[in-house]
Chain A
Amino acid sequence: MLRWIVLLPLLGAAINGLLNRRLPRPAVGAIACGAVGLSFVLSVVAFLRLVSMPADARLLTDIVAPWLGYGPLHVDLGFALDPLSGVMALIVTGVGLLIHIYSLGYMSHDKGFQRFFTYLNLFIFAMMTLVLGENLLMLFVGWEGVGLCSYLLISFWFNEEANAIAGKKAFVVNRIGDFGFLIGTFLLGVTLLPHLGAGEGLFSFRTMQHHAAALAPAATAIALLLFVGATGKSAQIPLYIWLPDAMAGPTPVSALIHAATMVTAGVYMIARMNFLYVLSPTAMHVVTVVGAATAIVAATIAMTQNDIKKVLAYSTVSQLGYMVMACGLGAFAAGIFHVMTHAFFKALLFLGSGSVIHAMSGEQDMRVMGGLAKKLPITFWTFLAGTFAIAGVFPLAGFFSKDEILWKAFSSDGGGITLWAVAFLVAGLTAFYMMRLVVLTFHGENRASHEVRHHIHESPLSMTLPLVVLAVLSVVGGWIGWPAFLGGANHFEHWLAPVFAGGGHEVAAAATHGGEALAHGVAAAHGAAEAHGGGHVALERGLAAASLAWGLLGLTLGFIVYSRRTKVADAVRGLAGGWPYRVLLNKYYVDEAYQGAFIRPGFRLSKTVLWKGVDAGVIDGLLVNGSALVVAVIGSLLRLLQNGLVRFYAWSFTVGVAVFFVYLSLKG
């Protein structure tokens, strides 16, 4: 059954892609949405079957065929569903379905309608391969597949050069990450191969988990190399630069791929490989620091951007930093929880921004928006729900997952007050820039041209319906993880506990911070706050209250500053001669730094050494023209023999025969 979850979208892509323009648009939309819808239904069925199983035995596998087999090396083409991939499968197909439906409206006038849905289905296929893959190589196949679809969809409107460049940038940056990923995979295979039992698949997650101890000697190297891949896919420092540019693609793509699914692949991969990561405190520490740094850097940049989608893009980078940080702290369940809630509210926010852009006739600059609340009521209210959710307002979805991460940042072994403070600051910044976005877009007077203003209208039902569904999910989606300190049971963490069970103990064993830290580690392993003492509950409540108040403060400040923007915002901007603002507006000049450090020297190297030296000199000169020259010389020498003079030939025979006789007589 699992194979059909993966293959149905591929089937949809094949039909739409091969018949392309021969199918009428409604048929294309029906096939694409139907394929994902069926896939979603099957995912739900599989998930329910998982639920009905005993907690320790929750695993469905579907081995399709043997793939590689050389001696002890043996890898299957197969799929597996466990609590972790179950959650991911529901997110991908569920949110994917909503975005497919939304795209029916959003892309209805686009001449690439068929192509768009082909790519979108292909993406779902690749993402499901990534999520349901039974082994690391299957995951990598999906990993590359989503990268390809991302490239295709970012440069979907390929007539614009900027879009083509953005797609290329995403592709190249991801390739750098994938290089690390691949080396890590090879290293893992080489390390594991001698320890393999008969019939065990080399890269199968179960095998790797079973032999985790054998990986210990190389764990740090493997974990860090795999993490390089994750920094590419999940847009972490230093490879985050492609994600904001990826906004060149159609907005549903931004919502589906660059907020809800593909970019969380890195987080999923780390969570999936948790048994490996917990073996290496060093790697965990690196993951934590990179995640935290990404979260704050991206959040500060998001405060100054004027393009509505760029703000959301940097916000996504920042939230991904949260998730990665959670994984680095060993709080894999919290990371995945945030993946889920973030998929709801960030997809909602992107789709809402798409609705705004649609209404504004393609305008993305918030400086010429404003006053859209009354004209787009559904978009406005759903967008507001998403904003409150991401700002961590109780009891919306974002509150629970973000607070879980904040608490883990405070209490885990790798965490502490500093890390908590960074994460806390990011939470406030998030609330602030999201409110800024809402105020600039929906509040006050409309600043667009008269003509654009005339066209503003609410989006069609196919677009508003997914908005409403996602808004409901953004509100209630976090309740599944209602934490213990508020009287809940945190079902979400319990649900994932079997997947991460081995990990927590290892963390505890690896910890060298003494008894108390050990207790925290074990508590994290069992995934429940009930192991904490009474003091912890009070502390947890206090921190949660503080972050809620902090989030509300951010929202309020954002509202005050930007609804009276001329005075306060300018005053803030004028701070210290305005240079902090300029630095943020220019995104810390990171792109320029890359330009100077890698790209321009790369061009110079290519031009002088590779082009004029290697290509023109060695390949063209020596190899291509050189071999031709050798043949020409030999040919002209041989031509001397073909003079057509019979007597010359006869002489040649005579001399040849004479030489032959001399040779024979000397030899004899």
Chain B
Amino acid sequence: MSLNHCLALAAAVFVTGMAGFVVRRNAIVMLMCIELMLSAVNIVFAAFSRHHGDAGGHVFVLMNFAVAAAEAAIGLAILVEIYRRRRTVDVDELKSLME
């Protein structure tokens, strides 16, 4: 399994996540899509780290996990709160900051 295979997989995962984020209107699904994109990045980090024999990439992967977990926690908390007030998690309905 060469570096290119890994990169292709990462690209596929990233585009899936990006497409989901753009297309879906459910905020929870969009959060999951963000996780997908972060995972794609993690794959790239790990692949390059392995390829160059440098442990630095792995450190970034761990960092990403931590950030993603924190973000998911906060994002979900916000969404729950929004749902309780507005009874919806459709992002097209949630634009009150603009007005």
Contact = CB atoms under 8 A, between A and B. Distances in A.
A515 interface: no
A647 B34 CA distance: 13
A642 B99 CA distance: 10
A647 B20 CA distance: 10
Nearest to B19: A654
A597 interface: no
Interface stretch (B39-47, B50-58, B89-97): B89-97
Interface string A639-651: 0001111110011
Contacts of B91: 645-647
B72 interface: no
Nearest to A642: B98
Contacts of B23: 647
A654 B92 contact: no
Contact of B18 (A642, A644, A645, A654): A654
A645 B21 CA distance: 12
B88 to A, nearest CB: 14
B86 interface: no
B95 A644 contact: yes
B22 interface: yes
Interface residues of A, number: 9
Interface residues of B, number: 14
A646 B98 CA distance: 11
B22 A645 contact: no
Interface in A617-668: 642-647, 650-651, 654
A644 B99 contact: yes
Interface in B62-99: 91-92, 94-99
A647 B92 contact: yes
B97 A647 contact: no
A597 B18 CA distance: 80
A610 B96 CA distance: 50
A654 B99 contact: no
Contacts of A647: 21-23, 25, 91-92
B99 to A, nearest CB: 7
B71 to A, nearest CB: 15
A643 B91 CA distance: 12
B13 to A, nearest CB: 15
A357 B14 CA distance: 102
Interface of A: 642-647, 650-651, 654
24 contacts: A642-B98, A643-B95, A643-B98, A644-B95, A644-B97, A644-B98, A644-B99, A645-B91, A645-B92, A645-B95, A646-B30, A646-B91, A646-B94, A647-B21, A647-B22, A647-B23, A647-B25, A647-B91, A647-B92, A650-B18, A650-B21, A650-B22, A651-B22, A654-B22
Which 8 A/B pairs are nearest by Cβ-Cβ distance? A644-B98, A644-B95, A646-B91, A650-B22, A651-B22, A650-B21, A644-B97, A647-B22
Given A643-B95, A651-B22, 13 more contacts: A643-B98, A644-B96, A644-B98, A645-B91, A645-B92, A645-B95, A646-B94, A647-B22, A647-B91, A650-B21, A650-B22, A654-B18, A654-B22
